[in-house]
Amino acid sequence: QVQLVESGGGLVEPGGSLRLSCAASGSIFSIYTMGWYRQAPGNQRELVAGISSSGMTTYVDSVKGRFTISRDYAKNTVYLQMNSLKLEDTAVYYCNADRSPGVLGSAHSSWGQGTQVTVSS
């Protein structure tokens, strides 16, 4: 089982940028599919971006062109660079790690504790 610790959340004005980090430990980071989810009050948790063990990426339509997911194998860390932030990006962001190729959020996956992102003027 991998342990995940997120950081980098905060308060930012619309149009601003933030970079979230998720540090993994306790298992072989390189084999995991990694992803970022978010959950706003009253909403279901949604997948924002994912990256496979080989570096292939996927994004929800609402963040395409604004967010970039990446991973550093040497640092066992996955990042989410968020640019041109909008009010509707406000949510708690969670890191997820799944050993199943191409799968995220399964019952056997690992979750971080979450980090708050607030976009407000």
Percent of the chain residues topping a pLDDT of 70: 100
Helices (H), strands (E): how many in the chain?
0, 11
Do residues 62 and 47 touch, judged by C-beta distance below 8 A? no
| Digit-coded pLDDT (tens) for 9-25 | 999 999 999 999 999 99
Question: What is the rounded CA–CA span in Å between residue 32 and residue 28?
Answer: 7
Nearby residues of 91 by Cβ (< 8 Å), 6 or more positions away: 38, 39, 40, 43, 117
| Digit-coded pLDDT (tens) for 22-61 | 999 977 877 899 999 999 999 999 999 999 999 999 999 9
